[in-house]
Amino acid sequence: MLNFDIQNHRPLREIVYEELKLQILTGKIAPGTRMMEVELAEDMGVSRTPIREAIRKLEKEGLVIIEPRRGAYASQISTEDMVEILEVRQNMEGLAAFIAASKMKPEQLKCIEQAEEEYNRAVETGSTADMIYYDSQFHKLIVEASNNKTLLQLIEPLQEMALRFRYLYYDDFKRAENMPHEHQVIIDAIAQGNAEAAKEAADTHIKKLKELVMTEGV
């Protein structure tokens, strides 16, 4: 059940929508799961109306499929879907790293380095949840360090979709083995103000993941 005491200043439909979205992105609601309004409403302690509104909104975002006379289902994830997302991320995050190399503020670099330290610690301890969280933070912080609002707005929905994929590819730990080194190459290039090297490092990082996905599938 949702905790409304700490969120009572926000519209109920917004709270329900964000909770359902998070459950789909993190795999708590698995791909192909039927989303029963009555059950979801009971679980969250709300009426069916905000659940229905949330499902319709999630359908527009591609996270839910509504089939006539069958109901709503969490959308499936295919290798093709993941490759398409990574193709776009490869270009846009490369651009973000390129811009960040010249526009990043010192405190932003510190935040990126801290996120990477936590990520490396998660890899060492084998904490999948922390790997997913700090990997997401690492990429998000680099985009923010570009200090380009337009780019941030364009990449944000892509990074949300990437969160869903992370819960799949981090299920196979070997996919994280080379991440710390690849992340560090990106950080070093940005810190040195080498825009071309930063772009190439970010591009290569995501390209390797894309190639792995194409070879092994989701």
Question: Could you tell me if 142 and 190 are in contact, meaning their C-beta atoms sit under 8 angstroms apart?
Answer: yes
What integer pLDDT is reported at residue 172 of this predicted model? 62
- Whether 25 is covered by a domain: the verdict is yes
Q: What is the pTM of this model?
A: 0.82
What integer pLDDT is reported at residue 153 of this predicted model? 93
Whether residues 65 and 84 share a domain: the answer is: no
What integer pLDDT is reported at residue 47 of this predicted model? 94
Whether residues 53 and 125 share a domain: the answer is: no
Whether residues 57 and 118 share a domain: the answer is: no
Whether residues 42 and 131 share a domain: the answer is: no
- Whether 136 is covered by a domain: the verdict is yes
Last residue of a domain, one of 43, 74, 105: 74
**Other C-beta atoms within 10 Å of 174: how many?**
9
| Total number of domains constituting the chain | 2
Whether residues 170 and 65 share a domain: the answer is: no
SS3 62: coil
- Whether 5 is covered by a domain: the verdict is no
Last residue of a domain, one of 34, 49, 74: 74
> In terms of residue numbers, what domain contains 43?
12-74
What integer pLDDT is reported at residue 11 of this predicted model? 87
Cα distance between residue 120 and residue 98, in whole Å = 23
- Whether 1 is covered by a domain: the verdict is no
The alpha helices in 61-178, defined as continuous H runs, are 79-103, 106-125, 128-145, 149-169
Whether residues 124 and 139 share a domain: the answer is: yes
What integer pLDDT is reported at residue 167 of this predicted model? 77
What integer pLDDT is reported at residue 3 of this predicted model? 58
What integer pLDDT is reported at residue 7 of this predicted model? 53
Last residue of a domain, one of 52, 74, 96: 74
What integer pLDDT is reported at residue 214 of this predicted model? 86
- Regions in the chain scoring below 70 on pLDDT: 1-8, 169, 171-175, 217-218
Whether residues 61 and 90 share a domain: the answer is: no
Q: Give the pLDDT confidence of 31-61 residue by residue, as tens digits.
A: 999 999 999 999 999 999 999 999 999 999 8
Whether residues 110 and 16 share a domain: the answer is: no
Q: Please compute, for residue 70, the number of CA atoms within 13 A of its CA located in the half-sphere on the CB side.
A: 11
What integer pLDDT is reported at residue 175 of this predicted model? 64
What integer pLDDT is reported at residue 216 of this predicted model? 77
- Whether 4 is covered by a domain: the verdict is no
Q: What is the CATH number of the domain that holds 110?
A: 1.20.120.530
How high does pLDDT run on average in the chain? 90
Whether residues 33 and 102 share a domain: the answer is: no
